[in-house]
Amino acid sequence: MHPSYSLAIAGFFLSSALAKDQCRCTTDDSCWPSTKTWTALNSTIDGHLIRYTPPGAVCYISHPNYDAEACDSVIKQWPESKFHSSDPASLHSEWSNAGCIPVYKNGTSIYGDPEAGERGCSNDVLPPYVVNATTTDHVVEALRFAAVKNIRLVIKNTGHAGDGRNLGSSSLSIWTHNLKGIELIENFNSTCPNSKDTPSPRMAATVGAGVQDGEMVETLAARNALAVSGTSNDVGVAGWSTGGGHGFATGHYGQGADNILEAEIVTPSGKVVIANECQNEDLYWAIRGGGGGTFGVITSLTVKAYPAPQMVMVAFDTSIKNHTSEDEWYQFIADAHALFPAMQDAGIHGYYTVEGPPSAEALTFSGSLMMFEASNKTYEDAIRPFAKLLRSSYATVAWSLNRLPVNNWQGLLKILPDIGSVSAGHSIRTSRLISRRTVIGKTDKFAAVYKKIGPTKKAPSNGLPNLSMSGTLTISPKSVNNSLHPSWRNATVHLITSQAWTDSTNETEIRSMIHDMTYRKLGLLRDLDPVQGAYLNEARHQSFIEA
């Protein structure tokens, strides 16, 4: 019932937003708005229209904005996620900034392309105009303008969308980053009578569309509360949660999409609506898992909040021994995964990575596991099977399992790393939600596939980085009536494999890596678990309807 309704909604939104001619106007077309028209738009949004120039432009001698001192500053800040999230259009995605990567004085890009400076700087897939939206009215005016002028529209808060959904050549971008505001509501009363999902009153938090995880987490922690969030302080709450959302607390409290109570949304026609369990119900269903910006522009969200919990946290670290084969190593990892479903049922959740040389001295499998509102005995009983596996694998791997000095939610926040860095170059990844049935019943096949998509014992001979893997175990099996892919509910791990390269990598190798990741490695994961899907925010979008 709901999927058909959501498709009808999407069709309505698209038809209302598009002009009769389905092709969008571009900067090269006569229909592209004149400077006078853009100036008129600027006057309707309180002067918040930005004529966008990529930050790397200051490094190009041929560009009017060239500034050697400013270039040094841009190059220094470029690896920082905060630099991109606080810029009106620059993104973390490998697809962004391709036309204007910062270059050194000799014209070589910071990623190693010696011809970048000679080609010069262009916006490429970045928008020529950005609306710095600080009110809902700014969003309304931008949407109406884009519809009337038949211009491609994109939306950005922080730019963490890994698939480049925030990009658009010849587009108008709505930058929601400055729609801040966080309110913790101790006794939130739903406007929906007889609410099934949200008994009233309950604790909740209302956040603006520009609020980032770190801002929300810090504000609520000061009030001894939490709302589910991602693993990076820099990620935007709205985009993260509407795409599904996994984080440290989601295994216990539900995915990000499960925790949305209501939203203020501006539809593509410029209408402001409230979506919740009893108003615009299909839109409410769709935004909880269907992706940010898909059905309209969210200007604020109200999400579930909880009293800050007590918790237990441990770190595990394993590495391959010199005489251990890759087959034995990946069988050990598969055996660990066979234990995870029961551990999750007992309340243990976490994250891990698998790396190899040269980024690590040897193949490693390490991560952290956590448990909320549990006694020491409950934790010890739940972790015992994993500890037993580690002890029995002493001939194959070196290992450690240590309890961390974390007793509560605030303690976890103190040990978390800062925002982090953008990878020094480009990367491609593929992912799959791997089911409980597979990790328990297909252990040998899982090990064989993991070996084919994971890092090798020796560093690659071509000089490229080794493959890297990550696993998300913070998955809630509780069924919620929303648009989150059903594969989440029976998954044990959200598995990602990724391959990095730099601008100095030749085109033939790049094409080979992209093809291998898109078809061979993704194909292996699909064959391993055919009925499963992928996480919208971290997926490789090939055959996206099934994934």
| Domains of the chain, residue spans | 35-175, 182-188+200-307, 311-528
Is pLDDT at 396 greater than 80 in this prediction? yes
Decide if 518 contacts 510 (C-beta within 8 A): no
Predicted local distance difference test score (pLDDT) of residue 56 = 96
What CATH number should be reported for the domain whose range is 311-528?
A: 3.40.462.20
Whether residue 341 has pLDDT greater than 60: yes
pLDDT score of 17: 43
Q: Residue 286: what pLDDT? A: 95
pLDDT score of 425: 66
State mean pLDDT over 41-64. Answer: 97
Indicate whether 543 pLDDT > 60: no
DSSP 8-state code for residue 187: E
Stretch 359-379: mean pLDDT, rounded?
95
Q: What is the mean pLDDT of residues 211-222?
A: 96
Beta strands 49-51 and 129-132, pairing class: antiparallel
pLDDT value, residue 427: 84
- DSSP calls for 249-279: THHHH--GGGGEEEEEEE-TTS-EEEESSSS
Task: Supply φ then ψ for residue 58, to 5 degrees.
Answer: -65, -10
Q: What is the mean pLDDT of residues 204-231?
A: 96
Instruction: Reply yes or no on whether the pLDDT at 217 is more than 80.
Output: yes
Confidence of residue 40 (pLDDT cuts 50, 70, 90): very high
434-463 pLDDT, tens digit per residue, is 999 999 999 999 999 999 999 999 999 888
pLDDT at 93: 63
Average of per-residue pLDDT across 234-246: 93
Q: What is the mean pLDDT of the chain?
A: 90
DSSP 428-453: EEEEEEEEHHHHHH-HHHHHHHHHHH
Q: pLDDT (tens digit, 9 = 90+) per residue, 295-339?
A: 999 999 999 999 999 999 999 999 999 999 999 999 999 999 999
What residues have CB less than 8 Å from 246, skipping those under 6 apart? Answer: 230, 231, 255, 256, 472, 474, 475, 494, 535
With bands split at pLDDT 50, 70 and 90, how would you rate the model's confidence at 113? confident
Least confident piece of the model among 2-6, 287-291, 412-416: 2-6
Say which residues have a Cβ less than 8 Å from residue 287's Cβ, sequence separation at least 6.
Answer: 242, 260, 263, 265, 275, 294, 295, 296, 298, 483
C-alpha distance from residue 164 to each of 130, 312, 356, 366, 406 (Å): 16, 37, 28, 29, 36
Burial of 461 per CB tally in 10 Å (0-12, 13-18, 19+) = exposed
Q: pTM for this one?
A: 0.91
What CATH number should be reported for the domain whose range is 182-188+200-307? 3.30.465.10
User: How sure is the predictor about 522, in pLDDT bands with cuts at 50, 70 and 90?
Assistant: very high
Residue 251 sits at φ, ψ, to 5 deg, of: -65, -30
pLDDT of residue 260: 97
Confidence (pLDDT) at 294: 81
Per-residue pLDDT tens over the stretch 186-214:
999 887 877 666 677 899 999 999 999 99
| Side-chain half-sphere CA neighbours of 124 within 13 A | 19
Identify the band that residue 15 occupies on the pLDDT scale cut at 50, 70 and 90. Answer: very low
Using 50, 70 and 90 to split pLDDT, how confident is the model at 6? very low
Read off the pLDDT band of 424 (50, 70, 90): low
- How much is the average pLDDT of 416-430? 72
CATH architecture for the domain at 35-175: 2-Layer Sandwich (3.30)
Nearest-10 crossing angle of helices 136-149, 35-44: 150
Residue 26 has pLDDT above 50, yes or no: yes
| pLDDT attached to residue 11 | 37
Q: Residue 38: in which H helix or E strand, if any? A: helix 35-44
